[in-house]
Amino acid sequence: MVPSQADTPILTPSACEGTTTLFPVAYFDQGTAYLTQSGQLYNEANAMALGRVYCFGPTFRAEKSKTRRHLTEFWMVEPEVAWATLDDVIVLAEELVEEVVQRVLARRARELKTLERQMLPLEQVRAPFPRISYDEAVRILKEKGLAFEWGSDFGGPDETALSEHFDRPVAVHHYPAAVKAFYMKPDPSRPELSLSVDVLASEGYGEIIGGGERLDDYGLLLDRIRDHQLPQDAFEWYLDLRRYGSVPHAGFGMGIERVVTWLCGLEHVRETIPYPRMLYRLYP
C-alpha cells in the first residue's frame, strides 16, 4: 500500500511531547491553543482510516536548550502505520535513512565535496543498522567512563558517545517508560520499559529519529494521561480512537534539520535553516 500524505494542524488544543515545551496562543473565545510539537496524534487518526500515512511540516518546542542540536522551530517528517510493531518501524526507519543518504550521495556529491564532507561514513550507511537495548547502551556508556545513571534520558554527550561507537547509525530501543511520552506503549514483559526507539546518526551527531508503538488500550492510555497531569478534556478526541476499538500501530518522527546537519557534516543545526529560531534568537 502506498502511504498517503496527510496534513495535520499547526494550532492544537493539547501537548504531544510535554506540557513545559509549548508555545501558547490565545484562540478567540476557545481559550488557549498551542503551536504544534508534532503531528503524531492526528496522524494516528489518519492511520486508522488510511493504513499508512505520513505528514511533513513545521513543529515548535519551547525547550530552554542552548545545545548545537536544538531549534525551537524545525521541520519533521512523521510516518504512522496501522498494524505495525516496534520492529516494523525500526525497519522502516532504517530503510528511510538509507534511502535519503544514498540518494544524496548519488545526486549531490558535488555539493558535499564543496562542503569538504568526508564521503566514507555516509557510504557505510546501509541497513540493517546495529540495534541495542537501552540496557546495553547504558553498559556501553559506563565502559566508556561516562557517569550515567539507569533510568535517565540520554543527553548530548551520551548520544555522541553511543553514536561514535558504531560505523553507521544505531537504533536504541526499549527506553524506560518514565522518560518517554504518555502515549508510548509499555513492554508487556517489562512494563517499566517502553516499546520505543531512537535512531542515532553516526559520527557523534546523535538522535535523528524517535518513535515506537503507541498505546492502543483505552484504560491504560487514560491512566497515563492522568499520571502526566494532562487535561483530559483536551484529549477526549484522542481517547475516542481507543474507546470504540483500535488496532496496534506505530510510527516515528525524523528531524529534517538534524539529518541535514549530519549529511553535510555541519557543526551546528542553525546552519541548516535560513532563519534559525533558538532560545535567544528571534530576529533574522
Instruction: Give pLDDT, residue 2.
Output: 62
pTM: 0.94
**pLDDT category of residue 280 using cuts at 50, 70 and 90:** confident
Sequence ranges of the domains in the chain: 4-272
User: Three-state SS for 33?
Assistant: strand
- CA 154 to CA 142: how far, in whole Å? 13
Percent of the chain with pLDDT over 90: 85
Lookup result for grid cell 547504558: 138
Q: Which residues, in sequence order, are bridge partners of residue 249?
A: 82
Q: Which residue has the cell 483505552?
A: 218
Please tell me the least confidently modeled range out of 16-30, 170-184, 240-254: 16-30
d(CA 189, CA 226): 23
DSSP-derived secondary structure letter, 51: S
Instruction: Please report which confidence band the pLDDT of residue 157 belongs to, taking 50, 70 and 90 as the band edges.
Output: very high
Identify the residue with better confidence: 19 or 127: 127
Cell, residue 36: 504544534
Overall average pLDDT of the 40-67 stretch: 93
Q: Which residues contact 120 (CB under 8 A, 6 or more apart)?
A: none
Look at the domain 4-272 and name its fold.
BirA Bifunctional Protein; domain 2 (3.30.930)
pLDDT of 284 > 90? The answer is no
What per-residue confidence (pLDDT) applies to 282? 87
> Lowest-pLDDT range, 11-25, 97-111, 202-216?
11-25
pLDDT band at 58 (very low <50, low <70, confident <90, very high): very high
pLDDT tens string 71-129? 999 999 999 999 999 999 999 999 999 999 999 999 999 999 999 999 999 999 999 99
Question: Is pLDDT of 20 > 80?
Answer: no
Give yes or no for residue 1 having a pLDDT over 70.
no
Q: What are phi and psi of 5, to 5 degrees?
A: -85, 130
Find the range with the poorest average confidence among 29-33, 127-131, 248-252: 29-33
| Buried b or exposed e, range 187-202, using 16+ CB within 10 angstroms | beeeeebbbbbbbbbb
Cell of residue 204, nine digits: 557523534
